[in-house]
């Protein structure tokens, strides 16, 4: 038996099977979703809530409002739609009227209802003609005579065999042990920020009685989660500011020598970004800068400037790209620019033989190479630079990489420049790149033509290909993009499209094929053929998504457009706005749901990548960008960056202020916060030496 004066950590270490009211079956299942102890249960925040405080008679419903309805299932129907999807409808009746609950593409819902069964459904109400409708409502099954109380019920993640009821019971039981929890915030801080104390908040976040209580409880934990992350980022920034880097001022001479290399006038945006980069590099502290700009705005120029600035000061630069295709393209660009200079360039590719690679390493280590270009994987592995002064990471999609880019370098830190592939939403920037300074390029090089985007379907295929052929004959080039396919799917692959087009609509034209499973050599060859115009059409998966730059390519057909994200489509389309001819992009699509349709409509109606990034984020939520695999940071447990943007800004400002006041969080009142952030982010953010 636990004594009442036992420490809360000890109480909360109680395994779920030892909790009162948890039956053996549930105790068996809970650990499968990571809920092993009382502490796990208590900090397993609900993924949603069922608001039963507004249960209404169907007659009293209002269009567009959230509400709950109690009734009996009258009828269940299920039909297939023309585009291969399905609609499941469940008619529910109460004493006053009836309501139809519907689900799209969730055929299994059909089996979850029986006529006569009493249910509570809640969700957003719509008046569709003469009937009330609720799309994808939350459902609670009721006993014969059960009258749901006006309460707010938590909804948890489950696994096969586990019921909401099981988790709710277990959480209730665990909460009995959760008093005297560790409060990370000093008491006066809680008061100042109007945050609920943890003991109170932890109860209300699971079992609130009103929406206000729920909002307050949630606010406390969301704030805490975002604050701790921002604190970690601020601390990381602080430590970086304390390390040393070589000063590389851009003298007038160096500046003019570098600028002379570019065959065009730089845009105002490029000049401004270069100014910021040069100012950073002139200081004895490492630059940590993120460069954001829309597809085609000319970020590479800024990278080249920075690299040559480092070289001018006798340092080496490394440029890392996400794919070999792109790395190779960068190497080509640099080779052209540097044709008449002394700068020694080396391209690290996966195609090098072990012997060649060994020689390359030796040259880098001996300082016989000034600029190294390759993929992140290739450069990071085990390359020891003689005198690394700058690292540029291009087209940063995989956010974690930056953290792990521990390039071997004794003493001084290199300067860092990170470039994104397309603009990313503000709140994501703050979260994932919260420790970096940011430069924006908001203009495009002059004379850029707009891409005309058409959303279309099979009916117009023949006409599109006719247009496509006409343009090809006139000397232009085009891409045909197909989604990457998983093996179990039935969608046509790039190969199949290639065969079909070669034998059909594009017979007689020179076609190339590029997909992810090809070896680096083969990819290179295909890219090169397309670049030089030997092939007129490149049938490809999204490997061309980032960066690829072929000015004569003005045509693009995207198949199965609904399967791509908005930023991804925008990035793809960016491939055909490179030259001075207008681009034409046909997106073939069968949007299956509202979000897909909105995404595609946004694509057709805007060409502003900054705007599209926000729309995409609104529609898809942070999941895709903040998916655990894509970046090194732990998944957010309660904060939702689409919803909690205001709180994010507040947490960020507060964290920065705290670090300004107590740069190493050395004060005793900050000890718990510090311990928490080290536990959570110490490893991924490399904060080891802070603790």
Q: Which is nearer to Mg ion, 336 or 628 (CB)?
A: 336
Is residue 574 near Mg ion by the rule CB under 5 A? no
Task: Give buried/exposed letters for 255-282 (b at 16+ CB in 10 A, else e).
Answer: beebeebeeeebbebbbbbbebbbebbe
Q: Least distance to ligand ADP from the beta carbon of 325, Å?
A: 13
Pick the piece of the chain touching Mg ion (CB under 5 A) from 229-237, 374-382, 480-488, 547-555: 547-555
Is residue 273 near ligand ADP by the rule CB under 6 A? no
Site for ligand ADP in 543-562 (CB under 6 A): 547, 549
Is residue 301 near ligand ADP by the rule CB under 6 A? yes
Q: In whole angstroms, give the CA distance from residue 144 to residue 141.
A: 10
Is residue 322 near ligand ADP by the rule CB under 6 A? no
Burial of residue 284, with CB atoms counted within 10 A of its CB: 0-12 exposed, 13-18 middle, 19 or more buried: exposed
Q: In whole angstroms, give the CA distance from residue 132 to residue 97.
A: 9
Is residue 423 near Mg ion by the rule CB under 5 A? no
Is residue 547 near Mg ion by the rule CB under 5 A? yes
Pick the piece of the chain touching Mg ion (CB under 5 A) from 66-74, 374-382, 459-467, 542-550: 542-550
Q: In whole angstroms, give the CA distance from residue 598 to residue 604.
A: 10
Q: Which does 289 bind (CB under 5 to 8 A by kind): ligand ADP, Mg ion, none?
A: none
Ordered DSSP codes for 49-111: EEE-S-B--GGG--TT-EEEEEEEEEEEEEEE-TTS-EEEEEEEE-SS-EEEEEEES-GGGGG
Could you give the C-alpha distances from 267 to 210, 298, 366, 441, 607, in angstroms and in order? 55, 9, 37, 9, 19
Ordered DSSP codes for 127-165: EETTEEEEES-EEEE--TT----S-EEEE----TT--HH
Give the pair of three-digit tokens for residue 230: 């921002």
CA angle 322, 326, 327 (to 5 degrees): 80
Contacts 24+ apart (CB under 8 A), 631-635: 631/398, 631/399, 631/400, 631/432, 632/399, 632/400, 632/403, 632/404, 632/684, 632/685, 633/229, 633/399, 633/400, 633/431, 633/432, 633/681, 633/684, 633/685, 634/680, 634/681, 634/684
Q: Which is nearer to Mg ion, 223 or 479 (CB)?
A: 479
Is residue 609 near Mg ion by the rule CB under 5 A? no
Q: Which does 549 bind (CB under 5 to 8 A by kind): Mg ion, ligand ADP, none?
A: ligand ADP
Q: Which is nearer to ligand ADP, 92 or 481 (CB)?
A: 481
Q: Least distance to ligand ADP from the beta carbon of 483, Å?
A: 22
347 forms beta bridges with 373
Q: Which does 264 bind (CB under 5 to 8 A by kind): Mg ion, ligand ADP, none?
A: ligand ADP
Please give the sequence-ordered ranges of beta strands (E in DSSP) within 520-625, or none if there are none: 537-540, 553-558, 583-588
Q: Which does 297 bind (CB under 5 to 8 A by kind): ligand ADP, Mg ion, none?
A: ligand ADP
Is residue 300 near ligand ADP by the rule CB under 6 A? yes
Is residue 272 near ligand ADP by the rule CB under 6 A? no
Pick the piece of the chain touching ligand ADP (CB under 6 A) from 265-273, 281-289, 367-375, 561-569: 265-273
Closest of 427, 423, 452 to residue 439, by C-alpha:
423
Q: Which does 425 bind (CB under 5 to 8 A by kind): ligand ADP, Mg ion, none?
A: none
Tokens 């311990």 correspond to 675
Q: Least distance to Mg ion from the beta carbon of 366, Å?
A: 30
Q: Which does 266 bind (CB under 5 to 8 A by kind): Mg ion, ligand ADP, none?
A: ligand ADP
Is residue 264 near ligand ADP by the rule CB under 6 A? yes
> Which listed residue (249, 350, 445, 520) binds ligand ADP by CB under 6 A?
445
> Which listed residue (125, 278, 297, 513) binds ligand ADP by CB under 6 A?
297
Pick the piece of the chain touching ligand ADP (CB under 6 A) from 170-178, 263-271, 378-386, 671-679: 263-271
Could you give the C-alpha distances from 446 to 180, 265, 577, in angstroms and in order? 64, 9, 12
* 209 within 8 A of 152, measured Cβ to Cβ: yes
Residue window 571-600: x/- pattern of binding to ligand ADP, with contact defined by CB under 6 A: -------x----------------------
Q: In whole angstroms, give the CA distance from residue 48 to residue 638.
A: 10
Which residue sits closest to ligand ADP, CB atoms considered?
298
Q: Which is nearer to ligand ADP, 94 or 549 (CB)?
A: 549
Is residue 8 near ligand ADP by the rule CB under 6 A? no
* 534 within 8 A of 509, measured Cβ to Cβ: no
Is residue 286 near ligand ADP by the rule CB under 6 A? no
User: What order do you get walking across the sheet with 537-540 strand by strand?
Assistant: 451-456, 583-588, 553-558, 477-481, 537-540, 511-514
DSSP label of 414: P
Is residue 299 near ligand ADP by the rule CB under 6 A? yes
Q: Which is nearer to Mg ion, 374 or 547 (CB)?
A: 547
Q: Least distance to Mg ion from the beta carbon of 436, Å?
A: 18
Q: In whole angstroms, give the CA distance from residue 674 to residue 680.
A: 10
Secondary structure (3-state) at 501: helix
Q: Which does 512 bind (CB under 5 to 8 A by kind): Mg ion, ligand ADP, none?
A: none
Pick the piece of the chain touching ligand ADP (CB under 6 A) from 49-57, 86-94, 164-172, 299-307: 299-307
Q: Which is nearer to ligand ADP, 37 or 422 (CB)?
A: 422
Count of chain residues binding ligand ADP (CB under 6 A): 17
Q: Count how many Cα atoms sit within 13 Å of the Cα of residue 121 in the half-sphere of its side chain.
A: 30
Q: Which is nearer to Mg ion, 372 or 548 (CB)?
A: 548
Q: Least distance to ligand ADP from the beta carbon of 257, Å?
A: 18
Angle, in degrees to the nearest 10, between helices 211-242 and 645-661: 40
Q: Which residues, in sequence order, are CB contacts of 517 under 8 Å at separation 6+?
A: none
Give the pair of three-digit tokens for residue 680: 């959570």
Q: Which is nearer to ligand ADP, 228 or 337 (CB)?
A: 337
Q: Which is nearer to ligand ADP, 88 or 270 (CB)?
A: 270
Q: Which is nearer to ligand ADP, 394 or 614 (CB)?
A: 394
Binding site for Mg ion (CB under 5 A): 547
Binding site for ligand ADP (CB under 6 A): 264-267, 270, 293, 295-301, 445, 547, 549, 578
């Amino acid at each position: 038996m636990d004594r009442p004066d036992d420490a809360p950590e000890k109480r909360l270490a109680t395994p779920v099977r030892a909790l009162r009211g948890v039956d053996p079956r549930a105790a068996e299942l809970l650990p499968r979703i990571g809920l092993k102890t009382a502490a796990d249960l208590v900090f397993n925040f609900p993924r949603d809530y069922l608001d039963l405080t507004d249960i209404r008679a169907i007659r009293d419903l209002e269009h567009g409002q959230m509400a709950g309805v109690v009734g009996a299932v009258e009828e269940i129907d299920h039909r297939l739609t023309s585009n291969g999807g399905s609609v499941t409808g469940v008619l529910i009746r109460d004493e006053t009227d009836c309501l139809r609950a519907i689900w799209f593409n969730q055929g299994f819902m059909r089996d979850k209802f029986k006529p006569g069964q009493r249910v509570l459904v809640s969700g957003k109400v719509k008046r569709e003609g003469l009937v009330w409708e609720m799309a994808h409502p939350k459902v609670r099954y009721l006993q014969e005579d059960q009258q749901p109380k006006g309460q707010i019920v938590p909804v948890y993640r489950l696994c096969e065999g586990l019921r909401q009821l099981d988790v709710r019971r277990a959480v209730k039981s665990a909460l009995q042990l959760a008093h005297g929890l560790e409060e990370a915030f000093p008491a006066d801080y809680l008061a100042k920020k109007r945050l609920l104390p943890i003991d109170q908040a932890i109860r209300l976040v699971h079992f609130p009685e009103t929406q206000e209580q729920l909002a307050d409880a949630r606010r406390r934990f969301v704030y805490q989660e975002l604050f701790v992350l921002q604190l970690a980022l601020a601390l990381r920034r602080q430590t970086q500011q304390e390390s040393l880097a070589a000063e590389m001022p851009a003298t007038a001479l160096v500046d003019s020598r570098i600028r002379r290399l570019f065959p065009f006038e730089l845009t105002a945006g490029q000049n401004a970004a270069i100014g910021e980069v040069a100012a950073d590099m002139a200081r004895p502290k490492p630059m940590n800068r993120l460069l954001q700009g829309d597809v085609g705005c000319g970020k590479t120029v800024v990278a080249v400037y920075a690299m040559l600035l480092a070289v001018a000061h006798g340092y080496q630069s490394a440029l890392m790209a996400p794919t070999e295709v792109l790395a190779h393209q960068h190497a080509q660009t640099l080779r052209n620019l540097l044709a008449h200079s002394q700068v020694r360039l080396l391209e690290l590719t996966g195609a090098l033989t072990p012997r060649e690679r060994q020689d390359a390493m030796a040259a880098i280590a001996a300082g016989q190479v000034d600029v190294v270009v390759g993929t992140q994987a290739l450069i990071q592995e085990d390359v020891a630079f003689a005198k690394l002064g700058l690292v540029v990471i291009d087209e940063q999609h995989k956010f974690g990489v930056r953290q792990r880019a521990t390039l071997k370098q004794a003493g001084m830190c290199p300067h860092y420049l990170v470039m994104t592939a397309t603009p990313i939403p503000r709140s994501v920037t703050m979260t994932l790149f919260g420790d970096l300074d940011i430069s924006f390029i908001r203009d495009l090089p002059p004379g850029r033509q707009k891409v005309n985007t058409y959303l279309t379907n099979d009916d117009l295929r023949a006409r599109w290909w006719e247009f496509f052929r006409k343009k090809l004959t006139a000397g232009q080039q085009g891409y045909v993009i197909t989604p990457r396919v998983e093996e179990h799917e039935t969608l046509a692959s790039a190969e199949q499209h290639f065969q079909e087009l070669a034998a059909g609509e594009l017979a007689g034209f020179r076609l190339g094929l590029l997909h992810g499973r090809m070896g680096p050599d083969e990819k290179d060859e295909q890219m090169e053929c397309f670049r030089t115009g030997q092939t007129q059409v490149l049938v490809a998966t999204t490997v061309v998504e980032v960066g690829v730059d072929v000015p004569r390519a003005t045509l693009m057909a995207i198949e199965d457009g609904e399967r791509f994200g908005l930023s991804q489509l925008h990035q793809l389309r960016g491939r055909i706005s490179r030259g001075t001819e207008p681009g034409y992009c046909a997106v073939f699509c069968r949007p299956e749901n509202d979000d897909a349709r909105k995404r595609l409509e946004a694509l057709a109606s805007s060409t502003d990548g900054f705007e599209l990034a926000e729309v995409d984020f609104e529609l898809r939520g942070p999941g895709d960008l903040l998916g655990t695999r894509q970046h090194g940071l732990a998944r957010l447990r309660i904060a939702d960056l689409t919803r909690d943007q205001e709180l994010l800004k507040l947490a960020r400002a507060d964290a920065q202020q705290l670090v300004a006041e107590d740069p190493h969080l050395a004060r005793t009142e900050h000890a718990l916060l510090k311990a928490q952030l080290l536990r959570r982010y110490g490893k991924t953010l490399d904060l080891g030496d802070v603790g």
